[in-house]
């Protein structure tokens, strides 16, 4: 006679089949009630068995009432196109009200075509580009330290064609992430061809295994196969190997009509009703199969197993009624409560911060290292470098306190950024760093989408997040402006500020002085500062500010002269040192000059100077970031401006088009682009006519 465990599992799989039907019906109804009657049905249906196994198979330890509590298991839906299946499960579990499943993707809805933190219980904005695997790996790194937790991620074979996922797959075994489980929905299809992959992956299990993963190759259309693999992860050896479960399936699995095998469809009303009818009939037959099995158990005298199955059904939000021979889907009751506020302020002894000698020059990386030796004594400070730790100073500073919080990813900037995002989502004050041009636009943009959704939710009366649940994530961009010698145009940061300034929610900060750098770091450590792109010099620089200034984003600093000056010299970063020297030369000619350091755009000051009588000189060692912002300010004001009173000096070509800068010494670059102090003075004289 089979063991009681075997008998129980047979019944469990019948219950999972019933739950499977409920989730598919909810998913179909999402499509039928969506604003465009559309749904990414192919990938949502093929991912249903892995997702139902994870959430109803007694695998993931998720705190539905408090999804932000650190220590519970974490989940990332990397293949964001399966959001409809996940949303159906989350509504059933009680993360949000079932009404959210209707009218999805409309302007009124928080249920989009991809998941994001607008949706309760969802921590990251993801899509089809494979970045969720890298984020999950970052979570797993944090989950190896008490309170320990496991991390699950569902990805797809389509997005495994994206490079960042392989950066994570290579890195995870090196960090011994035995707490990471990646489920691959290998449904053999993608957007342009739902019947086969554009890039076939016939040896996928062996390819993942070759990087040091434990790989389980299973039938993704069978609950026994998928659940057994998940149980092996949970109960198996923790020898440092991350686990990959390759779930072999096909796009649209579980549907009746082949119309639903596609990537995304708008479901015709008549077909939708036919499909729903057939899905409900399938559910009814599964219910009958379950009761037949219950009777079989009772005939064998296994009443205890029946009671155990009833208890499991209740955990699945199913109510078993033998008299009516019904298994009723339970009420969809909201269980998630608004998260408690997070205190994000980093604790440190301010008196122990570096005190700089105004007579000396300091390298930015050295200042950062010395400051982080103080800041990192708060365990919430973490850094992630990409083989440029010696340039940023992050690793040396934090590792001096706690090397486990000073991560070096290697030459994998996309992975680095995802890991930093993961730490920030857990409440850390996270810093990631590389050269200015090496940051990945796709990762930065997706992270910024998630950050915006967090801020929108925190501001909503009905949101699930409270103050302190944004992202404290600083991108430390080194080698900004004129910094190259042996390196070439690919390493030169003269265009990054303009490119990234189009990123919603990202704060651009260009640091001119070692003491100002300390001021910026103090500002970041105050907490709740969001996404910051901080550009720092690589070369040593003189101290401009005698004391650490109180940095405030959106505020410029007058270093000499004042609003009534005849000339207003504006710059940021290394360019401030040159306009200070230029101001002294201008003053010698009897012309009053104001020097403005603009580490972040001060719209009011720029407009005020533009509205006055003086000449406004924007002298920048890049393609004109402040100059671009000035143009935006003028257009927003709807006022007429005397263009003869504005002098831009930057690295653009004579026709105003952007360009990249090749290798040269700092002095040669100043000469080349007219940014030496004496050159600035000459151009000022030409405009003034003096």
CATH of residue 319: 3.40.50.970
Q: Is 552 a domain residue?
A: no
For 210-237, the pLDDT digits (tens) are 999 999 999 999 999 999 999 999 999 9
| Boundary (domain end) residue, out of 542, 565, 584 | 542
Give strand pairing partners of 186. 248
If 0-12 CB within 10 Å is exposed, 13-18 middle and 19+ buried, where does residue 200 land? exposed
For 606-658, the pLDDT digits (tens) are 999 998 889 999 999 999 999 999 999 988 888 777 888 999 999 999 999 99
Can you tell me the distance from the alpha carbon of 386 to that of 435, in angstroms, rounded to the nearest whole number? 9
Quick one: pLDDT at residue 690? 67
Quick one: pLDDT at residue 596? 98
Give strand pairing partners of 475. 432, 533
Q: Is 318 a domain residue?
A: yes
Same domain, 313 and 178: yes
Can you give the pTM of this predicted structure? 0.96
Can you tell me the distance from the alpha carbon of 88 to that of 92, in angstroms, rounded to the nearest whole number? 6
Q: Is 487 a domain residue?
A: yes
Closest CA to 307 of 8, 552, 13: 8
Mean pLDDT (whole number) for 560-576 = 97
Confidence of residue 261 (pLDDT cuts 50, 70, 90): confident
Quick one: pLDDT at residue 527? 98
Can you tell me the distance from the alpha carbon of 532 to that of 551, in angstroms, rounded to the nearest whole number? 13
Same domain, 112 and 216: yes
Residue-number span of the structural domain to which 320 is assigned: 4-329
Confidence of residue 498 (pLDDT cuts 50, 70, 90): very high
Question: How many other CB atoms sit within 10 Å of the CB of residue 273?
Answer: 13
Assess whether pLDDT exceeds 80 at residue 194.
Answer: no
| Boundary (domain end) residue, out of 280, 296, 329 | 329
Confidence of residue 501 (pLDDT cuts 50, 70, 90): very high
Q: Is 536 a domain residue?
A: yes
Same domain, 561 and 536: no
Q: Tell me the CA distances in angstroms from 451 to 400, 588, 650, one per residue in order.
A: 30, 49, 32
Assign 18 to helix, strand or coil: helix
Give the max Cα distance, the chain.
Answer: 107
Q: What is the mean pLDDT of the chain?
A: 95
Same domain, 521 and 607: no
Q: Is 342 a domain residue?
A: no
Assess whether pLDDT exceeds 60 at residue 193.
Answer: no
Q: Locate all alpha helices (DSSP H) within 460-574, ordered by sequence.
A: 496-500, 514-525
Q: Is 338 a domain residue?
A: no
H or E element: which one contains 532?
Answer: strand 531-536
Same domain, 647 and 605: yes
Quick one: pLDDT at residue 640? 78
Sign of CA dihedral 225, 231, 234, 240: negative
Asked if the peptide bond before residue 147 counts as cis, ω within 30 degrees of 0, the response is: yes
Confidence of residue 127 (pLDDT cuts 50, 70, 90): confident
Q: Kindly give the pairing relationship between strand 531-536 and strand 472-478.
A: parallel
Assess whether pLDDT exceeds 90 at residue 516.
Answer: yes
**DSSP-derived secondary structure letter, 213:** -
For 428-455, the pLDDT digits (tens) are 999 999 999 999 999 999 999 999 999 9
Q: Kindly give the pairing relationship between strand 151-156 and strand 180-186.
A: parallel
Q: Is 321 a domain residue?
A: yes
As a dihedral over the C-alpha atoms of residue 370, residue 375, residue 376, residue 377, rounded to 10 degrees, the angle is 110
Assign 222 to helix, strand or coil: coil
Same domain, 55 and 142: yes
Same domain, 125 and 234: yes
Quick one: pLDDT at residue 191? 63
Sign of CA dihedral 225, 231, 234, 236: negative
Looking up tokens 């042996």 gives: 486
Same domain, 374 and 295: no
Mean pLDDT (whole number) for 538-564 = 96
If 0-12 CB within 10 Å is exposed, 13-18 middle and 19+ buried, where does residue 553 land? middle
As a dihedral over the C-alpha atoms of residue 469, residue 470, residue 473, residue 474, rounded to 10 degrees, the angle is -130
Question: How many other CB atoms sit within 10 Å of the CB of residue 242?
Answer: 28
For the chain, give the percent of residues with pLDDT over 90: 86
Angle, CA of 80, 93 and 260, to the nearest 5° = 45
Same domain, 164 and 17: yes
For 4-48, the pLDDT digits (tens) are 999 999 999 999 999 999 999 999 999 999 898 888 898 999 999
Q: Tell me the CA distances in angstroms from 228 to 21, 218, 315, one per residue in order.
A: 20, 9, 19
Same domain, 183 and 68: yes
Helical packing angle, 4-33 and 83-93, nearest 10°: 110
Task: With beta carbons less than 8 A apart as the criterion, state whether 260 and 20 touch.
Answer: no
Structural domain count, the chain: 3
For 333-380, the pLDDT digits (tens) are 999 999 999 999 999 999 999 999 999 999 999 999 999 999 999 999
Gyration radius from the chain CA atoms: 29
| Boundary (domain end) residue, out of 487, 510, 542 | 542
Same domain, 498 and 448: yes
Question: How many other CB atoms sit within 10 Å of the CB of residue 605?
Answer: 19
Same domain, 491 and 620: no
For 50-91, the pLDDT digits (tens) are 999 999 999 999 999 999 999 999 999 999 999 999 999 999
Phi, psi angles (nearest 5°) of residue 428: -75, 155
Q: Is 337 a domain residue?
A: no
Quick one: pLDDT at residue 1? 65
CA atoms within 13 A on the CB side of 27: 36
Quick one: pLDDT at residue 197? 66
Question: How many other CB atoms sit within 10 Å of the CB of residue 635?
Answer: 10
Task: With beta carbons less than 8 A apart as the criterion, state whether 89 and 23 touch.
Answer: yes
Can you tell me the distance from the alpha carbon of 100 to that of 36, in angstroms, rounded to the nearest whole number? 15
């Amino acid at each position: 006679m089979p063991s009681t465990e075997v008998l129980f599992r047979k019944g469990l799989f019948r219950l999972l089949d019933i739950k499977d039907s409920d989730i598919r019906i909810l998913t179909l109804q999402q499509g039928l009630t969506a604003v465009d009657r559309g749904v990414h049905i192919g990938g949502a249906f093929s991912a249903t068995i892995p997702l139902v196994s994870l959430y109803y198979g007694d695998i993931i330890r998720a705190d539905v009432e408090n999804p932000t509590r650190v220590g519970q298991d974490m989940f990332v839906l990397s293949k964001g196109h399966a959001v409809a299946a996940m949303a159906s499960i989350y509504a059933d579990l009680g993360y949000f009200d079932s009404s959210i499943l209707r009218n999805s993707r409309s302007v009124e809805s928080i249920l989009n075509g991809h998941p994001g933190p607008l949706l309760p219980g969802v921590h990251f904005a993801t899509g089809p580009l494979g970045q969720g695997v890298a984020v999950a790996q970052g979570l797993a790194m944090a989950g190896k330290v008490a309170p320990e937790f496991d991390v699950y991620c569902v990805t797809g074979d389509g997005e495994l064609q994206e490079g960042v996922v392989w950066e994570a797959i290579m890195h995870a075994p090196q960090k011994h992430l035995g707490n990471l489980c990646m489920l691959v929905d290998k449904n053999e299809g993608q957007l342009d061809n739902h019947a086969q992959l554009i890039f076939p992956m016939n040896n996928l299990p062996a390819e993942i295994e070759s990087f040091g993963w434990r790989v389980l190759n299973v039938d993704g259309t069978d609950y026994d196969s998928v659940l057994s693999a998940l149980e092996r992860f949970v109960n198996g050896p923790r020898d440092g190997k991350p686990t990959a479960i390759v779930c072999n399936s096909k796009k649209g699995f579980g549907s009746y009509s082949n119309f639903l095998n596609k990537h995304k469809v708008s479901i015709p009303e008549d077909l939708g009703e036919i499909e729903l009818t057939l899905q409900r009939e399938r559910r009814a037959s599964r219910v009958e199969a379950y009761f037949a099995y219950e009777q079989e158990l009772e005939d064998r005298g296994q009443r205890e197993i029946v009671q155990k199955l009833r208890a499991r059904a209740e955990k699945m939000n199913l109510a078993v009624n033998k008299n009516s021979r019904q298994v009723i889907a339970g009420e969809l009751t909201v269980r998630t409560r608004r998260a408690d506020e997070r205190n994000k302020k980093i604790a440190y002894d301010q008196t122990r911060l570096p005190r700089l000698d105004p007579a000396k020059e300091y390298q930015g990386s050295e200042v950062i290292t010395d400051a982080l030796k103080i800041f990192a004594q708060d365990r919430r400070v973490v850094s992630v470098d990409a083989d440029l730790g010696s340039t940023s100073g992050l690793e040396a500073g934090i590792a001096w306190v706690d090397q486990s919080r000073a991560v070096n990813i290697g030459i994998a900037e996309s992975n680095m950024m995802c890991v930093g995002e993961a730490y920030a989502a857990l409440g850390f004050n996270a810093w990631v760093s590389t050269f200015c041009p090496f940051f990945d636009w796709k990762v930065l943009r997706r992270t910024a989408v998630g950050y915006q959704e967090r801020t929108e939710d925190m501001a909503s009366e009905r949101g699930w997040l409270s103050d302190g649940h944004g992202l404290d994530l600083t991108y430390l961009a080194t080698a900004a402006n004129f910094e190259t010698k042996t390196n070439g145009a690919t390493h030169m940061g003269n265009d990054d500020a303009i490119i990234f300034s189009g990123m919603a929610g990202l704060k651009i900060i260009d640091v001119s002085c070692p003491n100002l750098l300390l001021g910026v770091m103090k500002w970041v450590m105050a907490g709740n500062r969001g996404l910051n792109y901080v550009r720092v010099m690589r070369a040593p620089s003189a101290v401009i500010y005698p004391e650490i200034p109180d940095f405030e984003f959106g505020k410029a600093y007058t270093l000499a002269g004042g609003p009534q000056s005849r000339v207003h010299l504006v710059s940021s970063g290394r360019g401030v040192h040159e306009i200070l020297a230029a101001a002294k030369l201008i003053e010698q000619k009897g012309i009053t000059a104001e020097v403005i350091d603009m580490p972040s755009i001060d719209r009011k000051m720029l407009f005020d100077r533009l509205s006055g009588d003086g000449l406004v000189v924007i002298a920048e060692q890049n393609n004109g970031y402040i100059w671009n912002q000035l143009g935006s300010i003028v257009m927003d004001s709807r006022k007429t401006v005397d263009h003869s009173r504005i002098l831009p000096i930057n690295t653009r070509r004579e026709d105003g088009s952007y360009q990249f800068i090749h290798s040269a010494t700092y002095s040669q670059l100043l000469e080349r682009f007219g940014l030496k102090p004496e050159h600035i003075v000459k151009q000022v004289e030409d405009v003034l006519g003096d």
